[in-house]
Structure 1
């Protein structure tokens, strides 16, 4: 059984529209969603002290949050591939609102687990449909669209530690309730993007009818083997990326406190710098993928951090900051290219692929947090970072990734031929 190939660009077909305003608003909603998510790892040092938790229990909080945020995403993507539900992300953000409100006043460890599960569930509902709308609004500039959408998420994720350092640490955990305002604002913005979905779909139907005239494909349909091998390799690359990033997201603050004796606020600011560098990296990675191809970006972004990762456990505080920024910039550029590469392998299942790969990002990160938490209790946080330094070696698996010519490269070649 073979999968239909994407319709290639042809010079005689009309260019699809890029809905820049929709992409920017989607990026803002992603920022608000991921801001709330990022508060969870940012307050780990606070709740660890308040509830006398060990690293295994911290890892279980991360696992609960990220498993809740991963398991439902492929299901939501599969369902919405068949029946788009542009208002569904509003339902997801309602779960997030309840979760962040209850987390601020959780009386026990069990309630903390339920609260983070609600926030994870909200994120699981949000991502697949929002990813689909970003693709539809891209006008064929998939890297740019995913870059804008994901830079919002990364920027929101980077703000969590900053808010934790300057609001939650001084005012206490109950100040988390103020972040329900972010959830309410996201709901308002998502009502507008959902209303734009109808307009975008109408244009897409007209564009698809025109493109169908040129569907005598010059690209052969991708075989089942190509799709399976490609998705398997991409999933393994996601595993290495998610595990290494999770070592920072969940344990970087503890590493800095233990190794350099810095304050909680200083460690949160350093985590903010790491996450902010991710936001920059994901945008440039998406744009570069449109120009030079996803395959090259995946090579660079997964394997590229290796020398910096190997040096990190031996660096002083200043160079730890420099190396951390370099690692974050490079490795963050991977996700947009991995996601779009997977969508181009299976172009009829955009929602499902979005759900699966966002789910993998959450789920694999949660499993990694639980495993790394156990290792940190056994061998220490510093030893964990020495082991994690070898994770970028998984980038060598890119050698086995099937070579496909993505839409951006095809478009540029077609335009060159037209000239």
Structure 2
């Protein structure tokens, strides 16, 4: 916005007097205006109080319109731009009756009243500027702390009980009948694992025997074709080795079925029962630890401070007692089921192993095939690979 040109209302006077009066009025108006250096220094120094004072100070005007007398305004543009100038008007008259209206516009370059506005509250009345976490986060943190605290106390009590039992200073709960069955199961598992290891070793060695018999039969067959003088002898031996290798593959199928069943019994069925036994032993250790705590609390004096501790110890003792008795019943049931299952499985597998080995070494091919049919064993032939996409 450019400055307005001074207008003359009446032009009937001497030119020199008019110019002198104009310069005099202009100097008086500039003297009445606020100092630009003070405003600029206020903005540069960054004093909020001075900025607010400079922004609120009304401009000096003579017969001016209030709507046009704004000295400063909020500005958010770049510093290179200029603020809206403040306008000042002054009406003068000279001795000749001439009247002038002078309008001046001030451009305080670089002097701005900075105002930052935002509709986002920096703090709520409830938080007073402090960070307030959500209720769910707080509850989760508290629950985790409680869980860690409970686990630490339980671990400490169980470790103390275990060490006292090892050094013979603490008492432990013993179920003689159940402990005997558990020890017998562990001994049975060790023996069955040994049988499994030997059966696998026999199966691996016999596999190489069968492969050797097959290769030997092929060699005899080739020599029978190339040796006319020994053709009959080579042919007999070739057929014998082929028969042995064919029956050996049948026996290998029976032996693989035997080792697979024993492996399931040892490493799955028995292991599942032993896992329950391990849980039972941990529950027994916790039960004894809290039982000793309850006995120690009951031995102390009865007062207002000890009664709540005794009640708390009694509650935890009852909780672990119920857990211990429940797992003890589970172990007893699983031991009975395991014994019945073991008898059924091993009766079938031992009969299979005996019949297959006897039929093979006696040369009874018919009995060997009947044994596999009796136990529903299907052999995997050498060409029994995955069917092609055409056959599918």
The answer to whether the superposition gives a TM-score over 0.5 is: no
Give the structure, 1 or 2, with the largest relative contact order (CA under 8 Å, sep 6 or more). 1
TM-score by length of 1: 0.20
Which entry has the higher C-alpha Rg, 1 or 2?
2
